[in-house]
A and B are shown apart, each in its own frame.
Chain A
Amino acid sequence: MTWVGDNLDLIWSQLREHVFLAIVPVLLGLLIALPLGYVATRYGWLANPLTALGGVLYSLPSIALFILLPAILGTQVLSPVNIIVALTVYTVSLLIRNVIDGLRSVAPEVRQSAVAVGYGTLRRVMTVDLPIAVPVIFAGLRVVTVANISIVSVGAIIGIGGLGELFTEGFQKDFLTPVVVGIVLSVALALVADLIIVTIQWLLTPWARVSYAVKAA
Chain B
Amino acid sequence: MFQGMLDFLTDPANWSGAEGIGNRILQHLWYTALALGIATAIALPVGLLIGHTRRGAFLAINVGNAARALPTLGLLMLIVLLMGRIGFLPVLIALVVLGIPPILTSTYAGISGVDPSTVDAARGMGMTEGEVLRKVEIPIALPLIISGVRTATLYIVSTATIAAYVALGGLGRYVVDGLALRDFPQMLTGAMLVALLVIVLDLFFALLARLTVSDGLTGRVRTGRRTTTGRTTETTTPVEAGI
Interface residues, chain A, with chain B CB atoms under 8 Å away: 51, 54-56, 58-68, 71, 77, 90, 94, 97, 143, 146-147, 149-151, 153-154, 156-158, 161, 163-164, 167-168, 170-171, 174-176, 179-180, 182-183, 186-187, 190-191, 194
Please count the residue pairs between chain A and chain B whose beta carbons lie under 8 angstroms apart in the complex. Answer: 154
Can you give 24 contacting A-B residue pairs, CB < 8 Å? A59-B154, A60-B198, A63-B162, A63-B194, A64-B192, A65-B191, A67-B175, A67-B187, A71-B184, A143-B241, A147-B68, A147-B242, A150-B71, A150-B72, A150-B243, A151-B243, A154-B73, A156-B73, A157-B162, A157-B165, A171-B77, A182-B74, A183-B71, A183-B74
Contact B158 A186 (CB under 8 A): no
State how many angstroms separate the Cβ of B243 from the closest Cβ of chain A.
6
Give the number of residues in B that approach A within 8 Å (Cβ atoms): 46
State how many angstroms separate the Cβ of B83 from the closest Cβ of chain A.
11
Q: Is B13 an interface residue (CB 8 A)?
A: no
Q: Of A94, A149, A183, which is within 8 A of B75 by CB?
A: A183
Bound form: Cα–Cα A71–B188 in Å: 8
Task: Give residues of chain B (6-52) contacting chain A, Cβ–Cβ below 8 Å.
Answer: none
Nearest-neighbor residue (CB-CB) of B187 within chain A: A67
Nearest-neighbor residue (CB-CB) of A66 within chain B: B191
Task: Give residues of chain B (154-174) contacting chain A, Cβ–Cβ below 8 Å.
Answer: 154, 157-158, 161-162, 165-166, 172
Q: Of A61, A171, A183, which is within 8 A of B243 by CB?
A: A61
Interface residues, chain B, with chain A CB atoms under 8 Å away: 1-2, 5, 68-75, 77-78, 80-82, 85, 154, 157-158, 161-162, 165-166, 172, 175-176, 179, 184, 187-188, 190-192, 194-195, 198-199, 202, 236, 238-243
Q: A63-B172, A90-B242 are in contact. Are A187 and B73 (CB under 8 A)?
A: no
Bound form: Cα–Cα A190–B71 in Å: 10
Q: Of A56, A77, A150, A187, which is within 8 A of B241 by CB?
A: A150
Bound form: Cα–Cα A7–B103 in Å: 39
Nearest-neighbor residue (CB-CB) of B188 within chain A: A71
State how many angstroms separate the Cβ of B3 from the closest Cβ of chain A.
11
Contact B78 A183 (CB under 8 A): yes
Cβ contacts under 8 Å, A65 to chain B? 191
Cβ contacts under 8 Å, B184 to chain A? 71, 77
Contact B202 A59 (CB under 8 A): yes
State how many angstroms separate the Cβ of A148 from the closest Cβ of chain B.
9
A63-B158, A147-B241, A179-B81 are known contacts; what are 20 more A-B pairs with Cβ within 8 Å?
Answer: A58-B238, A61-B157, A61-B242, A64-B195, A65-B191, A68-B188, A71-B188, A77-B184, A149-B71, A150-B70, A150-B243, A153-B71, A154-B71, A157-B176, A164-B73, A167-B71, A168-B73, A168-B165, A174-B81, A186-B74
Contact A167 B242 (CB under 8 A): no
Contact A59 B242 (CB under 8 A): yes
Cβ contacts under 8 Å, A71 to chain B? 1-2, 5, 184, 188
Bound form: Cα–Cα A62–B172 in Å: 12
User: 10 smallest A-B Cβ distances: which pairs?
Assistant: A61-B158, A147-B241, A67-B191, A190-B69, A64-B191, A183-B74, A153-B71, A186-B71, A71-B1, A167-B77
Bound form: Cα–Cα A216–B85 in Å: 57
Cβ contacts under 8 Å, B68 to chain A? 143, 146-147, 150, 190
Bound form: Cα–Cα A174–B82 in Å: 10
Cβ contacts under 8 Å, B192 to chain A? 64, 68
Q: Of A59, A161, A163, A168, which is within 8 A of B198 by CB?
A: A59
Contact A68 B69 (CB under 8 A): no
Bound form: Cα–Cα A154–B155 in Å: 13
Contact A171 B81 (CB under 8 A): yes
Cβ contacts under 8 Å, B75 to chain A? 183
Bound form: Cα–Cα A171–B85 in Å: 10
Contact A61 B73 (CB under 8 A): no
Cβ contacts under 8 Å, A180 to chain B? 78
Bound form: Cα–Cα A64–B81 in Å: 25
